[in-house]
């Protein structure tokens, strides 16, 4: 099996964890291709596969479906969560959904508002998002 390598301070090789990022597919053909690619990239033993999340949650259902497909294939999935457009109530709902699917890894991002739109949501910075997750969900999440 291929494994990424780097050299530590003493010149000895060390394993470097890797991950791969996906955009949620838009079509059933894309869903099938994703499953094939996940299986192929699994040969590199990634720590996780992350899945993007559209501004303001525009790809929420697609992200969830993609995360579930990755988890069903036996790999750890890490959905992105963005501050943009996220409310505390909405985030609680999303996190409860992920918890029910046994997803415990999140990529927390500030995110960028689409051009010409005003900032909306309860979080301005990713640190606020992380703090909210820790305070409301506990420490059993990898963020």
Domain 19-137 has CATH 3.20.20.220: yes
Average confidence (pLDDT) over 107-129: 79
What local confidence, expressed as pLDDT, does residue 55 receive?
A: 61
What local confidence, expressed as pLDDT, does residue 84 receive?
A: 83
pTM of the model: 0.82
What local confidence, expressed as pLDDT, does residue 78 receive?
A: 97
What local confidence, expressed as pLDDT, does residue 76 receive?
A: 96
Complete DSSP assignment for 43-111: GG--SEEEE---GGGTTHHHHHHHHHHHHHTT--EEEEEESTT--HHHHHHHHHHHHHTT--B-EEE--
> Which pLDDT tens digit goes with each residue over 1-60?
455 556 666 767 777 899 999 999 999 999 999 999 999 999 999 999 999 987 655 678
Domain ranges of the chain: 19-137
Question: Active-site positions?
Answer: 21
What local confidence, expressed as pLDDT, does residue 85 receive?
A: 82
Inter-CA distances, 13 with 3, 7, 9, 47, 132, Å? 11, 4, 9, 18, 38
């Amino acid at each position: 099996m291929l494994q990424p390598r780097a050299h530590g301070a003493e010149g000895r090789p060390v394993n470097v964890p890797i991950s791969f990022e996906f955009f949620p597919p838009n079509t059933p053909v894309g869903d099938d291709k994703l499953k094939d690619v996940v299986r192929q990239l699994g040969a590199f033993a990634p720590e996780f596969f992350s899945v993007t999340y559209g501004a303001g949650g525009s790809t929420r259902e697609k992200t969830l479906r993609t995360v579930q497909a990755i988890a069903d294939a036996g790999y750890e999935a890490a959905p992105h969560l963005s501050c943009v457009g996220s409310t505390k109530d909405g985030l609680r709902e999303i996190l409860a959904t992920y918890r029910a699917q046994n997803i415990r890894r999140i990529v927390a991002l500030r995110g960028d508002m689409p051009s010409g739109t005003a900032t909306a949501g309860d979080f301005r910075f990713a640190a606020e998002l992380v703090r909210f997750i820790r305070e409301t969900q506990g420490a059993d999440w990898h963020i």
